[in-house]
Amino acid sequence: MTRKQRQVLLRIIVSAVFLIAAVLIDKSGKLEILSSVFYLTAYFIIGYDIIMKAASSLRHRRFIDENFLMSIASVGAVVLGEFFEGVAVMLFYQVGELFQSCAVAKSRKSIAALMNIRPDKARVIINGEEQTVSPEKVAVDDVILVGPGEKIPLDGVVLSGEACIDASPLTGESVPVSVKEGSEVAAGCICTDSLIKIRVTKSFAQSSVSKILELVENSMASKSKSERFITKFARYYTPIVVIAAILLAAVPQLFISAGRMEWVRRALIFLVISCPCALVISVPLSFFGGIGSASRRGILVKGSNYLEALAKCDTVVFDKTGTLTKGSFTVTGVYPEKMDERILVAVCAAAEQHSNHPIAKTVVAASGDDYKRFRVSNLREVSGKGSIAVVEKWEVAVGNAALMEEVGVSCTVSNGADTVVHIAVNGEYEGYITVADTIKENAEKAVLSLKEAEIENIVMLTGDKQEVAERVASALHIEKAYHELLPADKVEILEGIISSSEGKVIFAGDGINDAPVLTRADVGIAMGALGSDAAIEAADVVIADDDINKIPLAIKIARKTCDIATQNIVFALGIKALFLLLGAFGATGMAGAVFADVGVAIIAILNSMRTLKYKN
**484-508 tens-digit pLDDT:** 887 778 889 999 999 998 899 999 9
393-409 per-position pLDDT tens digit = 899 999 988 899 999 99
Percent of the chain surpassing pLDDT 70: 87
**Cβ–Cβ < 8 Å for 291, 85:** no
Percent of the chain surpassing pLDDT 90: 22
In Å, how far are 42, 165, 175, 246, 469 from 169, measured between CA atoms? 47, 11, 12, 55, 35
Least confident of 150-159, 271-280, 457-466: 271-280
What was the pLDDT predicted at 4? Answer: 81
- So what CATH class is 299-326+439-556? alpha beta
Least confident of 255-269, 421-435, 514-528: 255-269
Q: What is the mean pLDDT of the segment spanning 5-18? A: 89
Question: CATH 2.70.150.10 occupies which residues in the chain?
Answer: 139-202
pLDDT band at 200; cut points 50, 70, 90: very high
Q: State the CB neighbour count (10 A cutoff) for residue 80.
A: 15
42-73 per-position pLDDT tens digit = 999 988 888 888 888 777 766 566 677 777 77
What was the pLDDT predicted at 359? Answer: 84
What was the pLDDT predicted at 143? Answer: 92
What was the pLDDT predicted at 230? Answer: 67
Q: Which of 37, 31, 74, 111 lies closest to 598, judged by CA?
A: 74
What was the pLDDT predicted at 532? Answer: 58
Question: CATH 3.40.50.1000 occupies which residues in the chain?
Answer: 299-326+439-556
Q: What is the mean pLDDT of the segment spanning 561-570? A: 90
Concerning whether 319 is annotated as a catalytic residue, the answer is yes
Least confident of 70-79, 365-374, 435-444: 70-79
pLDDT band at 299; cut points 50, 70, 90: confident
Q: What is the mean pLDDT of the segment spanning 183-207? A: 85
pLDDT band at 477; cut points 50, 70, 90: very high
Which member of 142, 166, 319, 546 is catalytic?
319
Which of 83-87, 217-221, 413-417, 529-533 has the highest average model confidence (pLDDT)? Answer: 83-87
Query: Is it the case that residue 345 has pLDDT exceeding 90?
Result: yes
- Sheet holding 190-191: strands in order across? 177-179, 163-166, 190-191
- pTM of the predicted structure, to 2 decimals: 0.68
Query: Is it the case that residue 108 has pLDDT exceeding 60?
Result: no
What was the pLDDT predicted at 315? Answer: 94
Burial 270-283 (b: 16+ CB within 10 A, else e): bbbbbbbbbbbbbb
Q: What is the mean pLDDT of the segment spanning 226-240? A: 71
Burial class for 468, CB neighbours closer than 10 Å (0-12, 13-18, 19+): buried
> Which is more confident, 98 or 73?
98
Bridge-based pairing state of the strands 190-191 and 122-126 = unpaired
**Cβ–Cβ < 8 Å for 435, 362:** yes
Question: Using the 8-state DSSP alphabet, how is residue 113 labeled?
Answer: H
What was the pLDDT predicted at 415? Answer: 60
Alpha-helix residue ranges (DSSP H) falling in 146-224: 168-171, 208-218
pLDDT band at 234; cut points 50, 70, 90: low
Domain 139-202 has CATH 2.70.150.10: yes
What was the pLDDT predicted at 330? Answer: 84
What was the pLDDT predicted at 530? Answer: 53
Q: What is the mean pLDDT of the segment spanning 191-202? A: 89
Question: CATH 3.40.1110.10 occupies which residues in the chain?
Answer: 330-436
**Cβ–Cβ < 8 Å for 140, 201:** yes
Mean pLDDT of the chain: 82
Q: What is the mean pLDDT of the segment spanning 88-116? A: 67
What was the pLDDT predicted at 512? Answer: 58
The DSSP code sequence of 450-474 is: HHHTT--EEEEE-SS-HHHHHHHHH
Spatial distance between the Cα atoms of 519 and 75, rounded to a whole number of angstroms: 54
Query: Is it the case that residue 104 has pLDDT exceeding 80?
Result: no
Which of 222-226, 281-285, 379-383, 405-409 has the highest average model confidence (pLDDT)? Answer: 405-409
Query: Is it the case that residue 458 has pLDDT exceeding 80?
Result: yes
What was the pLDDT predicted at 198? Answer: 93
pLDDT band at 446; cut points 50, 70, 90: very high
What was the pLDDT predicted at 476? Answer: 92
Fold of 330-436: Calcium-transporting ATPase, cytoplasmic domain N (3.40.1110)
Query: Is it the case that residue 344 has pLDDT exceeding 90?
Result: yes
Query: Is it the case that residue 97 has pLDDT exceeding 90?
Result: no
Least confident of 141-145, 272-276, 462-466: 272-276
